[in-house]
Amino acid sequence: MTRIIVRKLIWDEWNREHIKKHNVSQQEIEDVSKNVIAHEGTKQGRYLIIGRVGSRILTVIINRKETGIYYPVTARDAAKKERRKIYEKEKKQIA
């Protein structure tokens, strides 16, 4: 699987306000985008990235604008299935 490298995130008023509804900060998304643990494509051609911010595991949906430049559409706490995927990947890295 190709690794996603996020060099820059595009922010505007809409996505800043939208992530607040999910109790996620802009800084948390910036941190996750620099340390992507898992990712996958979505039906709309966007990407779902999952990463850690402290003890919190977040899922962020991003839309590619250019190589390395993405627009964060939304973010939330990772679902149980997504958290399990992260735990398994982290367990493999330790072993």
pLDDT in tens, 3-38: 889 999 999 999 999 999 999 999 999 999 998 999
Q: What is the DSSP letter of 2?
A: P
What is the pLDDT, as a whole number, of residue 2? Answer: 67
pTM score of the predicted model: 0.90
Tens of pLDDT, residues 74-86: 999 999 999 998 8
On the question of pLDDT at 65 being above 60, the answer is: yes
User: Is 29 in a helix, a strand, or coil?
Assistant: helix
pLDDT at 66 over 80: yes
Q: Tell me the CA distances in angstroms from 90 to 64, 66, 68, 74, 84, one per residue in order.
A: 26, 30, 25, 24, 10
The alpha carbons of the chain give a radius of gyration, in whole angstroms, of 13
- Give me the domains of the chain, ranges plus CATH numbers: 8-94 (3.10.450.530)
State the virtual CA torsion across 27, 29, 34, 36 in degrees, nearest 10.
150
The CA distance from 59 to 43, in Å, is 16
Query: What was the pLDDT predicted at 10?
Result: 98
